[in-house]
Amino acid sequence: MAKKQTTKSVSASKKSSARKGLAPVVNVALLGFGTVGSSVATVLAASKFPGIQLTHIFNRDVERKRTSAAAKRVPAAVVWTEDINVILKSNVDVVIELMGGLNPIEGWLRKAIVSGKSVVTANKQLIAYRGATLAKLAAKHDVHLVHGAAVAGGVPVIPGMLQGLGGDQVTRLSGIVNGTCNYILSRMETGADYATVLADAQQLGYAEADPSADVDGYDARAKLCILSRIAMHAELDPDAVATQSISTVEAVDFSYAKELNCTIRQVSRAQLEGTTVHARVAPMLVPMASPIAWSHGTQNMVVVSGRFGGDVVFSGHGAGGEPTAVAVVSDLLAVAQGCKSVQLPVRKRKVTGEFLAPHYLRFVVDDKPGIVSAIAGALAKVGANIDSILQRPGYPKHRLPFVVTTEPCLTSVIEKALHSLAKMDCMLERPLCLQMLQIEDKPE
């Protein structure tokens, strides 16, 4: 009953404003005043959108935020609080959540939705794991749940898919959705080593002190699941999506990739086949002719392949406070104006990390006669064929890196061979295995 009374009072206020010839006012609360949250406040203050009024800001240790340089752009009338109940019990119409994580955020947003408040969020973990259930809750209470900034920040991938590609049958998507990894790998492409570039990324604020969410693929995995639900109407369990860390990629791999007319990027990839989605987040060899290879620094890029429309490419700077704030404010404006997204049925799908693809295998060995023959034998035993062998000069025989590429074969086949190869006495490191993308693939 309380929810209905609140909704009616807000609705009545808006109707009253309309009768007086005034634009209805949409009251907005901001949860989180970090990099993105402060940028959202800056955009709202600079743009002065008619009918949009920032009324509340929530943050832990709120006084520290309230006295920051960014806070000077916030209107004096805004209520600052570290008590979430102040927000939940207020007459706010839209809650913008920019804190991240699942707990306690999910519980707070559920309460906001039940009380009749729409939600705008950039929280990819929340949407990946709880997006479907939260969307149902929002529909039940006739409010909006919008998350266009959850993937690729300022690049309008999600609204583009919802509004521009809803009429197609998307069969495949692939791309770069983690700016941190793209920064690291594109720097390594110029000859830098992983540890140095990671330290630079941390100093610049691109990577966290614990970079595992980015470099091990968990951030990109959540985003891939969101995109799969929107583009292919497939709900995936994020924990079932295969990931591979970029931390095992070394400078020598870029030298060999160049010989193969490729580079290396962290690629998020999903392909629908029947009722199964093949999905993987991993560093992969990308042909230089592919748009994915052209993305450098913190840029994001997503290639969406449709049955009727073919390939559509989204590209731009996904990371950073201001680009992400643009996406958040755009979502806010859509909610304020009552815009509705295309809603199509979403079904739970089985996930597998299995792909049929050529593979790049880099070995570091104590060189001795018969190694290549032994590797070829181990691959042949599982049904994998060698396509090429590359060995760059200038490396010592006692620690020699060289590369074998295979003809297209299943992921599980290569993994079985690697299990055997890793046990060879000559191996000084576990062999590195990377998938190789093929740009000639066409959607069915």
In this structure, are 170 and 313 located in the same domain? yes
Q: Who has greater pLDDT, 279 or 19?
A: 279
In this structure, are 93 and 166 located in the same domain? no
Residue 259: band (very low, low, confident or very high) from pLDDT cuts 50, 70, 90: very high
In this structure, are 175 and 235 located in the same domain? yes
Residue 5: band (very low, low, confident or very high) from pLDDT cuts 50, 70, 90: very low
Residue 15: band (very low, low, confident or very high) from pLDDT cuts 50, 70, 90: very low
In this structure, are 224 and 191 located in the same domain? yes
Give the separation between CA 241 and CA 222, rounded to whole angstroms: 9
> Kindly report the CA angle at 211 between 198 and 147, in degrees rounded to 5?
120
In this structure, are 290 and 179 located in the same domain? yes
Q: Is residue 44 scored above 60 in pLDDT?
A: yes
Residues 157, 198 contacting (CB under 8 angstroms) = no
Sort 72 into a burial class: Cβ within 10 Å, 0-12 / 13-18 / 19+.
exposed
Q: Find where tokens 């060698």 sit.
A: 386
Q: How many folded domains does the chain comprise?
A: 3
Asked whether residue 340 is domain-assigned, the answer is no
Asked whether residue 151 is domain-assigned, the answer is no
User: For 52-84, what is each residue's pLDDT tens digit?
Assistant: 999 999 999 999 999 999 999 999 999 999 999
Residue 340: band (very low, low, confident or very high) from pLDDT cuts 50, 70, 90: confident
Residue 440: band (very low, low, confident or very high) from pLDDT cuts 50, 70, 90: low
Asked whether residue 45 is domain-assigned, the answer is yes
DSSP string, 340-371: -------EE-EEE---EE-EEEEEEE---TTH
List % helix, strand, coil for the chain (3-state, nearest 5).
40, 25, 35
User: For 209-244, what is each residue's pLDDT tens digit?
Assistant: 999 999 999 999 999 999 999 999 999 999 999 999
**Looking at residues 325-332, what average pLDDT do you find?**
95
Q: Note the pLDDT of residue 66.
A: 92
Residue 267: band (very low, low, confident or very high) from pLDDT cuts 50, 70, 90: very high
CATH number at residue 81: 3.40.50.720
Told to judge if 223 belongs to the known catalytic residues of this protein, a careful annotator would answer yes
Please, what is the average pLDDT of the chain? 91
Asked whether residue 326 is domain-assigned, the answer is no
Q: Note the pLDDT of residue 319.
A: 66
Asked whether residue 338 is domain-assigned, the answer is no
- Domain termination site, one of 122, 146, 170: 146
Asked whether residue 324 is domain-assigned, the answer is no
- Domain termination site, one of 350, 369, 403: 350
Number of H helices, E strands in the chain: 15, 21
Asked whether residue 303 is domain-assigned, the answer is yes
In this structure, are 141 and 245 located in the same domain? no
In this structure, are 308 and 365 located in the same domain? no
In this structure, are 168 and 312 located in the same domain? yes
User: For 388-439, what is each residue's pLDDT tens digit?
Assistant: 999 999 999 999 999 999 999 999 999 999 999 999 999 999 999 999 998 7
Q: Is residue 281 scored above 60 in pLDDT?
A: yes
CATH number at residue 381: 3.30.70.260
In this structure, are 140 and 190 located in the same domain? no
Q: Is residue 339 scored above 90 in pLDDT?
A: no
In this structure, are 367 and 220 located in the same domain? no
**Residue 277, strand partner residues:** 272, 351
Catalytic residue among 223, 258, 340, 348: 223
Q: What is the pTM (predicted TM-score) of this model? A: 0.90
Q: What residue numbers bound the domain in which 9 lies?
A: 2-146
Per-residue DSSP letter, 256: H
**Looking at residues 107-120, what average pLDDT do you find?**
98
In this structure, are 27 and 132 located in the same domain? yes
In this structure, are 244 and 111 located in the same domain? no
